[in-house]
Amino acid sequence: MSRKVEHIGVLGGGLVGALNSIYLRKRGYRVSLFEKRPDIRKAGTDSGRSINLALSRRGIKAMQDIGAFESVKDILLPMEGRMMHSLEGELTFQPYGKEGQFINSVSRGRLNEILINKAEEAGVEIHFEHTCHHVDLNKTEVSFTSPKENVTYQFDLVIGSDGAFSQVRQEMVKIPRYNYQQYYIPHGYKELTIPPTEAGDFAIAPNALHIWPRGKYMLIALPNVDRSFTCTLFFPFDGDPSFESLKTPKDVKQFFQKTFPDSLEHIRNIEEEYFKNPTSALVTIKCFPWVKNNFVLIGDAAHAIVPFYGQGMNAGFEDCHVLNQLLDKHNDNWDATLTEYQLLRKDDADAIADLALDNFVEMRDLVADEKFLIQKKIEARLHDQFPKQWIPLYTMVTFSDLRYSEALEAGKKQQAIMDEVMKRKDILKNWESLNLQEIVDQL
Amino acid sequence: MSRKVEHIGVLGGGLVGALNSIYLRKRGYRVSLFEKRPDIRKAGTDSGRSINLALSRRGIKAMQDIGAFESVKDILLPMEGRMMHSLEGELTFQPYGKEGQFINSVSRGRLNEILINKAEEAGVEIHFEHTCHHVDLNKTEVSFTSPKENVTYQFDLVIGSDGAFSQVRQEMVKIPRYNYQQYYIPHGYKELTIPPTEAGDFAIAPNALHIWPRGKYMLIALPNVDRSFTCTLFFPFDGDPSFESLKTPKDVKQFFQKTFPDSLEHIRNIEEEYFKNPTSALVTIKCFPWVKNNFVLIGDAAHAIVPFYGQGMNAGFEDCHVLNQLLDKHNDNWDATLTEYQLLRKDDADAIADLALDNFVEMRDLVADEKFLIQKKIEARLHDQFPKQWIPLYTMVTFSDLRYSEALEAGKKQQAIMDEVMKRKDILKNWESLNLQEIVDQL
């Protein structure tokens, strides 16, 4: 006998919670969405979380499903590749894919506003300023405090889209034999701003994701619609240099002058902004199961990942897309849907979590390496000549909807082949005359 | 400025807690040991945890350090290899190492009693029936309930040897950016008994660890001093067959008749014992840091592992040995000691955790495979001819004190070489004429 589902509670009105509410409402369910913060449309964007994100294929597909992509187009800024800034201020551009392939810098707050509007239009009942303080996994009940009252609701199903520190998951962890992992990398991040020039223009090229790769750490910058850039310093918490070792405004200024000299022309007020803005941690969460009784985890609540592949939001949106597809497949039989959902998505979530951790090394270190960039050029040629046989890993992850787990496996195989290719004599000189057929044949 | 340490609180009077108390007492510290259970010497062995363990090189070394090994010898039963029982009741013996190399079946309870006696003799202050209910990481305070009173102690240093569900670690997990993982395999275990024969003898060969490898699950048996064997069924919790699928005494009997027929001659009362004995879960715990303020994790509290390499106790005892060595090296400077202790042991604990998970596949599945056994024979010959260059992984882990992390790395390298060797044409026929020098040269 399957669950009877009419009324669904959605915990968390962030990007994934809002999007998923729309999917569910469109299927005809009664949907109640609870968000602890005030209405973002009145309160302005929230602070403390990263301001802009990279929307790509998987996220776009979900936005299209619910008919929201057209409304978002105006706030997207295409980034066609990485722009590396060397210590000497030299620029190197590495395209993300073929011509016409790009990822989209987008404001988390603006996107959230649009999704909340769409959810409201679709008939989702939205409760802001409702802080969940108790989850009862057996009774399918959730208790909230709000400025007006303490209230307990019962649902037929609850979706926990309540983020990396999910309260639904905190209840699930107490289940016997629950598998759980929280892994913090030794780096944190801090956001800084490059404002528009005095003439009101972008201070650096707007169609790229800028990286100052410095081996153990890096600075990046993504463009905003207001022609500013949001920079993020990914930097160790401890050691030298680190957030801990830069103690005074003078330390910060000197460190940036030495390490990111060409950024200082553009980041004004570094001494002030550095100490005003928070330093945040970077966590990977893995857990299983994602479904217990009538509770389901989705998005960061099920699989928080580090941001280095630009896939956190895209993976969460793809969860919603997959859940919706499975409801189609199983004619809204939730038992069959949820069983398949968690088995299917767990492998993919684990894969993108690992890929995202690996990509930090690529971004902060490898992109400054000539050999690495040549390898990427060879792979781009392979893809040009054998577009169906050799698809670079970044392309599979970002511009396709191949399962993340399959992309990871294919990427490993390609990397093993390329490791051998890159060992060949004088490869840095001869790479343009490689026999590409012979490489592809190794797949 | 280093910590001033005079009075050390040790939480948990299990094997590692008792052993470590002796080490510390011998260095001259005042040591107070707290154990929630009654005095094991009066109450008899505890139930619910595995009854016998395999003591090997690393554990023995620590026992020798504190002068306890002689007292233990009488309760050790040497196991020289694995005895595999096929479905047809055929026996295959695979030695663990060279002649004279063996592991030792030992009763957890008896060993614990001996260590508690030694601790008492050494002057450790032992408090039984003290259940820790609060840990204050900042004040170095621990609060207990006991049958007589509720009491709070302050120490200079607290060692958390309080096992896989450590309360000290539960406090540490709350530290910002704490890394933590609990991973349950899908299998649980249940203990069963092969009593001595009516003539009072061992029912099966006493000098081996018996395995009934059945692919996805297995039964094992270890000898006891009273000439019984303790069997352990490692079996999935769910699916078919599983603990869940065997619902009645009849189900159990039929399953054993079909799957472990030759065990049924010896396990009497299977229908009764199966339902009387508990089913327990198998967890791997990884966490970091192990040191916070004046609290230190050791043994299972820091790194609970699955039992399939027979290294849980040995790894915990080696923690104590390493800690003691570092105190020697740093002249009891605890700051330097603890910094080095956790960095050194974390890598080794991670390595043995992974090795133990891998070894389950070896025990339940590979040991029934002819090709696998031939590979092990080839490796034994390699070790014979090149004793310093090729040391089989099992030997490095069990009969040497090479760091677990180094054993893991060396084992991977050997496995890659052996993977190629085992692909050779007709290897199962030709293996005795292999050019061993050529294999060793690949290292």
- Assess whether A149 and A12 both reside in one domain: yes
Q: What is the pLDDT of residue B52?
A: 87
CA distance A73 to chain B (A): 37
Q: Is residue B252 part of a domain?
A: yes
Q: Which residues contact B187 (CB under 8 A, 6 or more apart)?
A: B217, B234, B235, B236, B237, B282, B360
- pLDDT tens across A366-411, in order? 988 999 999 999 999 999 999 999 999 999 999 999 999 999 999 9
Write the DSSP assignment of B49-64 as a string of letters.
S-SEEEE-HHHHHHHH
For A36-44, the CB contacts below 8 A with 24+ separation are A36/A129, A36/A130, A36/A131, A36/A132, A37/A13, A37/A128, A37/A129, A38/A128, A38/A129, A39/A116, A39/A128, A40/A13, A40/A109, A40/A112, A40/A113, A40/A116, A41/A113, A41/A116, A41/A117, A44/A109
**Amino acid (1-letter code) at residue A292:** K
A311 and A346 belong to one structural domain: yes
> Are residue B132 and residue B167 in the same domain, yes or no?
yes
**Residues of chain B found within 8 Å of residue A281, distances taken between Cβ atoms:** 176-177
- CA-based nearest residue to A231, from A223, A221, A241: A221
What would the pLDDT profile of A136-167 be if each residue is shown by its tens digit? 999 999 999 999 989 999 999 999 999 999 99
How close does chain B come to A179, measured CA to CA in Å? 5
User: Could you tell me if residue A85 is inside a domain?
Assistant: no
- A171 and A306 fall within a common domain: yes
Please check whether residues B138 and B25 belong to one and the same domain: yes
| Statement: residue A245 has pLDDT above 60 | yes
Residue carrying structure tokens 């629950």: A178
Chain A residues closer than 8 Å to B181 by CB: 180-183
Q: Best residue in A173, A183, A287 to probe B by mutation, most B CBs within 10 Å?
A: A183
Let me know whether A242 and A296 are in one domain: no
Residue A338 domain-assigned (yes or no): yes
pLDDT in tens, chain B (443 residues): 578 999 999 999 999 999 999 999 999 999 999 999 999 998 765 444 568 899 999 999 999 999 999 999 999 999 999 999 999 999 999 999 999 999 999 999 999 999 999 999 999 999 999 999 999 999 999 999 999 989 999 999 999 999 999 999 999 999 999 999 999 999 999 999 999 999 999 999 999 999 999 999 999 999 999 999 999 999 999 999 999 999 999 999 999 999 999 999 999 889 999 999 999 999 999 999 999 999 999 999 999 999 999 999 999 999 999 999 999 999 999 999 999 999 999 999 999 999 999 999 999 999 889 999 999 999 999 999 999 999 999 999 999 999 999 999 999 999 999 999 999 999 999 999 999 999 999 99
Between A176, A181, A184, which is nearest B281 by CB? A176
Do residues B277 and B287 both lie within one domain? no
CA distance B216 to B227: 29
The pLDDT value given to residue A268: 87
Is B95 contained in some domain? Answer: no
The first and second tokens of residue B154, run together, are 């302050």
Select from B177, B178, B281 the Cβ nearest to the Cβ of A177: B281
Is residue B63 domain-shared with residue B140, that is, in the same domain? Answer: yes
Helix (H, G, I), strand (E, B) or coil at A131: strand
Say yes or no to pLDDT of A47 above 50.
Answer: no
**Residue of B165, B175, B184 to mutate for A, most A C-beta atoms under 10 A:** B184
CATH of the domain at A317: 3.50.50.60
**A124 class by beta-carbon count within 10 Å (0-12 exposed, 13-18 middle, 19+ buried):** buried
Is residue A89 in a domain? no
Judge: A179–B184 Cβ closer than 8 Å, yes or no. Answer: yes
- Are A390 and A432 in a shared domain? yes
Report the residue from B177, B181, B283 with minimal CB separation from A181.
Answer: B181
- Cα–Cα distance measured from residue B50 to residue B236, given in angstroms and rounded to the nearest whole number: 17
The pLDDT of A237-251, averaged and rounded, is: 97
- Same domain as A26, residue A122: yes
Per-residue model confidence (pLDDT) at position A1: 52
Query: Among A253, A245, A260, which residue's Cα sits nearest to residue A274?
Result: A253
The total domain count for chain B is 3
Share of chain A above pLDDT 70, in %: 98
Claim to verify: residue A196 and residue A135 sit in the same structural domain: no
Find, among B403, B331, B79, the residue nearest to B221 by Cα: B79
Q: Do A178 and B177 touch (CB under 8 A)?
A: no
Which domain-ending residue is among B246, B281, B316? B281
Interfacial residues of A (vs B; Cβ cutoff 8 Å)? 176-184, 237, 281, 283
Residue in A169, A174, A184 to test binding to B, most B beta-carbons within 10 Å: A184
Is B180's CB within 8 Å of A176's CB? no
According to the model, what pLDDT value does residue B434 have?
95
A:B CB pairs within 8 Å: 30
pLDDT in tens, A329-344: 999 999 999 999 999 9
Residue where a domain terminates, one of A359, A389, A411:
A359
- B16's tokens: 């590692």
- Identify the pLDDT of residue B48: 44
Helix locations, B87-146, DSSP H:
108-122
Of B180, B183, B281, nearest to A182 by CB-CB distance is B180
Chain A residues whose beta carbon lies within 8 Å of the beta carbon of residue B184: 177-179
Residue B101 lies in a domain: no
Residue B164 contacts residue B300 (beta carbons within 8 Å): yes
pLDDT average, residue stretch A261-287: 95
Task: Answer yes or no: is B431 within a domain.
Answer: yes
Q: Is residue A98 part of a domain?
A: no
Q: What local confidence, expressed as pLDDT, does residue B49 receive?
A: 52
Query: Which residues span the domain enclosing B244?
Result: 185-281
- Closest of A181, A366, A274 to residue B178, by C-alpha: A181
| N- to C-terminal Cα separation, chain B | 46
Partners of A31 in the beta sheet? A8
* Domain end residue (candidates: B301, B336, B359): B359
Inter-chain residue contact B176 with A281, CB threshold 8 Å: yes
Helix B15-26 and helix B108-122, axial crossing angle in degrees, nearest 10:
20
Write the ipTM: 0.88
Shared domain for A141 and A252, answered yes or no, is no
Q: Which residue on chain A is closest to B177 by alpha carbon?
A: A184
Which residues on neighbouring strands pair with residue A107, listed in sequence order? A52
- Residues A324 and A303: their CA atoms lie apart, in Å, by 18
* Average pLDDT, rounded, for chain A: 95
Whether residue A46 is predicted with pLDDT greater than 60 in this model: the reply is no
pLDDT reading at A51 higher than 90: no
